[in-house]
Amino acid sequence: MIESHIPKSDLPNFSQCKAVVVGDLMLDEYIWGDVGRVSPEAPVPVVRVTEKTYSLGGACNVAANLAGLGCASTVIGLCGHDDAATQLKLQCSENKIHCRFVAVEERPTTRKTRVMSRGQQLMRLDEEVLDGPASDVVQELWDTFVDASKDAGAVVISDYGKGVFCRDFSNRVIDHCRELNIPVLVDPKGGDWERYSGATCITPNTNEFLQVASFTPDNDADLADRANTAIAAFSLESLMVTRGPRGLSLFQRGMQSLHVPTQAQEVFDVSGAGDTVIATLAACLCAGMVLADAARMANFAAGIVVGKLGTKPIYRAELEEALRKRESGTGYKIRDRKGAADMVACWRAEGDEVVFTNGCFDLMHVGHVKILHEAASLGSRLVVGINSDSSVKRLKGKDRPIIPEGERLALMAALECVDLVVAFDDDTPLELISAIKPDILVKGGDYTVETVVGHDLVTKWGGRVAIVPLLDGKSTTSLIERLQRTRR
């Protein structure tokens, strides 16, 4: 069955969900630099290092996606006694992930170092051990998992083939989860799926499933036959194949297959998309969604992350934004204070610089548009605070506003340069500014920096205030006076 249904924007409350990820931990390190010459020692470029950055890989990236959606996220795996483990723990802490690492003296933390210059990857250096750990280490890993999974709503096995899932460890994890009625989802590696027998769902991509079953990738009927065979052979409840530009296909025991087309608008980077899929699937199941709806949501989330450069997790706020955009046009930009703060936090995690301005915006005119466009040009995202109807009445008099609050919000949201619109009921936007913490605060030329509400807060946390010149004779008051003269 071909399914084009878009999931609804009312996401479950993931904050009550606990998910455990067990698997191969990885640190992704990026060395950035400039290349200006060839080495005299060998015909290789000389990279002058300017910066080093780090991100989570492997099981840690799955956990980051779960945390980004709002789940209580725990990650379990092996690491070494080295600086890579320290950096990995720091990155997990920054992403609100609970680490349950088992440190092994003679084993390095898996680290992938990419040397980058002018946006191109020059080489990748891998530090890793692929052999399975000793039996006493496996036992410590098992004890850690049993303790962490006591109140879990979902468990993810993130297998990258780095040695964790040896000595039947994955079979023990799955059997334990089945006894406790915990859904266990597997991101597989390699062609040996016996170690995943009994899982709730395995989520291979097309190439990974081809290692297990021979089929024609673009033939849905052939894929369904092989998938159902695999479900029976490995005692699975379901199998979900991610198919890149073809979306994903879900197969459940005794049920009709479901094919969900891709939702990606523009693909920049597919790295990490599989981690997002399995994390979103786990979060949705943990929150009580049926598997088919969870698969739709996972597919939609993957369509967002492939539009990002590099391995980046999904965030609840941006998933909700994308869903609302599909349902309500530009109305998705209208948020309450908490929703705005969540969205801004998501943007900031992506490195965006947030600009804020505010006003009544009663009778939108060209002067407003000029200020808004100039404000938007100062940063990456523009948030506009709009006085509520009751606030406008207190400030402007009982005959104002002329345009009601809902219409003013909708008109503002329709402007392409505006990314978020928030109504506030106070006489000033001070509490809203405190909630979203903009990097740049903008007001028109009838203000000075010192008279702008919130200027002290913004400068205190390292932001700045910008004053945009006004257009002479362009104001709501002058527009009302012209209309009144016209009526006489």
Element spanning 49, H or E: strand 45-58
Sheet order of strands, 25-38 included: 45-58, 25-38, 111-117, 120-127
Q: How far apart are CA 107 and CA 137, in angstroms?
A: 11
The pair of three-digit structure tokens given for residue 40, joined into one six-digit string: 């005299």
Q: How far apart are CA 429 and CA 172, in angstroms?
A: 55
Q: How far apart are CA 159 and CA 139, in angstroms?
A: 18
Q: How far apart are CA 248 and CA 277, in angstroms?
A: 10
The pair of three-digit structure tokens given for residue 409, joined into one six-digit string: 């919000």
Q: What is the DSSP letter of 162?
A: S
Q: How far apart are CA 84 and CA 111, in angstroms?
A: 7
Cβ atoms of residues 82 and 104 within 8 Å: no
Element spanning 461, H or E: none
Q: How far apart are CA 222 and CA 249, in angstroms?
A: 12
Q: How far apart are CA 264 and CA 305, in angstroms?
A: 9
275 is catalytic: yes
Contacts (Cβ under 8 Å, ≥6 apart) of 32: 49, 50, 51, 52, 53, 116, 117
Q: What is the DSSP letter of 353?
A: P
Cβ atoms of residues 87 and 343 within 8 Å: no
- Backbone dihedral angles phi then psi of residue 418, each to the nearest 5 degrees: -95, 130
Q: What is the DSSP letter of 463?
A: -
Q: What residue type is assigned to position 76 of the chain? A: I
Cβ atoms of residues 442 and 355 within 8 Å: yes
Catalytic hit among 24, 28, 187, 275: 275
The pair of three-digit structure tokens given for residue 197, joined into one six-digit string: 């027998």
Contacts (Cβ under 8 Å, ≥6 apart) of 12: 283, 284, 287, 288, 289
Q: How far apart are CA 302 and CA 280, in angstroms?
A: 9
Cβ atoms of residues 454 and 430 within 8 Å: yes
Q: Where does 77-123 have alpha helices with state H?
A: 83-94
Q: How many residues does the chain have?
A: 488
What is the set of active-site residues?
Answer: 275
